[in-house]
Structure 1
């Protein structure tokens, strides 16, 4: 990957940057000219993302954060700006997805999913928007899921929080537009990531996905990252409040 030789575009904070999709987004935005705040749980995956950014010469800062901790999210936003420059893009991507039948989900499990997938999105967006609004420009992208549109067995906690991300996107776009802050969403389809480990038969699930998509192949992480790149970039200057399904034509609405 070759970095864009154009002028720097400020900093972008990507949550869940140790996962496959978050890593692809971080690398693409880095190539676009952003300095990258690499936020996620402490561990090898986060360090691997940092290593790939290093290899591409992309300025970055590793931020090991538990997204259940609101104060830590605010501190990460501050550190991103202090070390990398004005925050011009936020990608809320991190999520957890315990696979549990609805009638067996405990309150503790449900509330844990909400803290990571919903409350953290809200707090990160709020902290980012305060900074962006002061400067009159910025872009927030919330990563949703096509499971919100179609429902999904054994993932009620996850699906409900992904629906919340769509609602949050619309509400913030309406409220923040006058301040120059755009808010959009991206709903990935079934990309071949670690998340598929919740399915007992990988080959059977792979065929299930392809049968339902209009495009008869699996998507790539880079293809999802390209849509995020568009939404935070200048070509989407008149786009806000939208959630784009990137799913090979599975869900059409």
Structure 2
């Protein structure tokens, strides 16, 4: 039997950007732990495909809500619908994210604003709306999916790194404001993970070899590697952990 400190049975979780990749794996991990999980995405077809896939195993414990996390009006309406249907949100996972790669001087205004909205503004908008409901209840867990690039950078991803560094500081700021109300806000910083978004990098043998050599664990991360960190930060085990960023990177940040 698992330790009761890690028990999240019956909790309601919203995971943004969860129709594929890391978000889908995090949603599945919460479902396996006994949560009711609401999936989110803008692509209604992909979202329904993910919901059906998980519902085959988890039944009514999985729901889906399609809304644009960068639109404050849409966010407010969606959070109301989710709480009316599934109950009060206990756990929010701000996972929505996008990546663009280009030399710094070639990035367009549109690409900059797009990354800022998707990676940072979305976490502010959804976090604010959910926190407004958590505060009077006196408890809640918010987990922002940050990145290795919240701390370190490679060429070609300056705007992405700026958004993920901003998300790290938003996490700390949310902790400062929400901690007094019994809400814990922490981040998870994935290293290099094998997902749909990184498939081109995984396929690039030179880059892939660099990742394996650069990472003490000697491999790319698997999305399942993130579930343990998520369950810790979602559960009573982390009730006195706040404003922290837990890097799940195979040790990459620790070595030169």
TM-score, length-scaled by structure 2: 0.91
- Tell me, what secondary structure is at the counterpart of 1:251? helix
Structure 1 contact 145–186 (Cα < 8 Å) conserved: yes
Greater shift, 212-221 or 115-124, is seen at: 212-221
Q: Report what 2:25 is aligned to.
A: 24
- Give me the whole-angstrom Cα distance separating, in 2, the residues matched to 1:218 and 1:111: 29
Deviation at 1:252, TM superposition (A): 2.3
Q: Report what 1:236 is aligned to.
A: 238
Q: Report what 1:70 is aligned to.
A: 72
Deviation track 1:139-169 (CA, whole Å, cap 9, x = no partner) reads: 0000011023221211111110000110011
- Tell me, what secondary structure is at the counterpart of 1:83? helix
Q: In the alignment, is residue 34 of structure 1 matched against residue 30 of structure 2? A: no
- Give me the whole-angstrom Cα distance separating, in 1, the residues matched to 2:8 and 2:104: 50
Provide the alpha-carbon RMSD of the alignment: 1.8
Deviation track 1:17-63 (CA, whole Å, cap 9, x = no partner) reads: 01211011001111222211100121443223212320222512211
For structure 2, list consecutive stretches of 5 or more residues without a partner in the other structure. Answer: 1-6
Structure 1 contact 139–183 (Cα < 8 Å) conserved: yes
Deviation at 1:66, TM superposition (A): 2.3
Residue of 213, 216, 223 corresponding to 1:214 = 216
The structure with more helix, counted as a fraction of residues: 2
Q: Report what 2:49 is aligned to.
A: 48
Q: Report what 1:166 is aligned to.
A: 168
- Tell me, what secondary structure is at the counterpart of 2:151? helix
For structure 1, list consecutive stretches of 5 or more residues without a partner in the other structure. Answer: 1-5
Structure 1: which 4+ aligned runs deviate by more than 4 Å? none
Q: Report what 1:125 is aligned to.
A: 127
